[in-house]
Amino acid sequence: MSARFDDRLIVALDVPTALAGLELARRLGPTVHFYKIGLGMLTGGGLALANELKQDFGKRIFLDMKLFDIGATVEAAVRGLAQYEIDFLTVHGDPHVVRAAMTGAGSKGPKILAVTVLTSLDRADLDAAQIRPGSMEEIVLARAAAALDAGADGVIASPQEAAAIRALPQGPTTSSSAAPSGPPLIRDGRQRRSSRQSADRRDRCGITPPATETRPRTAPAGRRRRPSRPGRFSSVSAGNPAAPARTG
């Protein structure tokens, strides 16, 4: 009988290094099947960590890069990231960015999730950035609708706007990823626009563990890792947490 996982729970690996992330994933073991790796981990071996969790441990990966650039650059970046076989990838919700990301992902690439407005921002931040007038909810809804119209597979939003986004004609849902009935809606709880309402249990929710220093464990004497297959990326646990390079 195969194990069943609740993919609505996504644990954010917001730890200092890829080795610390790998150690945390090992401690959590089969209780967690879905992990988020953010931009802050990128220079600390985040892509190598994503590759190892995916290939060696069979985990699902949410790569939270929030890409934003001209279309050609976004398309090329997404096409390159798709080789890691990640499941979700975030981009900013501007329509030209979403369209480019969808092209780069192709039919077999990651699901593209659009960020509406960063959940740490409030109206004063938008004013400082010369963003058009309007309430936060109005702007979030407009950006969510535009991103979904551009082809996004789902959107990222704060709990405060989640219900309104679900009511859009484009219809993002909060169903389990095992049997989705529409574009997913992921609630980001790390926001200034807080909500006192408890999260709907059907929503995917992110958990961020406290950042702790983890000392790498030395492999026992005589232990041998199986060799990398041709075309595999370098391994975190093999002692190279830097950005992966092709081997073999």
Identify the CA nearest to 205 among candidates 191, 193, 188, 184.
188
Residue 1: pLDDT over 50 = no
**Residue 158: its pLDDT value, please?**
85
CA angle 111, 48, 117 (to 5 degrees): 40
Residue 129: pLDDT over 70 = yes
pLDDT digits (tens, 9 = 90+) for 37-94: 999 998 889 999 999 999 999 999 999 999 999 999 999 999 999 999 999 999 999 9
Choosing from 36, 54, 59, 66, which is the catalytic residue?
66
* Percent of the chain residues past pLDDT 90, beyond the cut: 49
**Residue 4: its pLDDT value, please?**
60
pLDDT digits (tens, 9 = 90+) for 83-102: 999 999 999 999 999 999 99
**Residue 7: its pLDDT value, please?**
74
pLDDT digits (tens, 9 = 90+) for 175-196: 333 333 445 666 555 555 544 3
- Within 10 angstroms of residue 188's Cβ, the number of other Cβ atoms is 21
Q: Is 66 a catalytic residue?
A: yes
Give the global pTM: 0.72
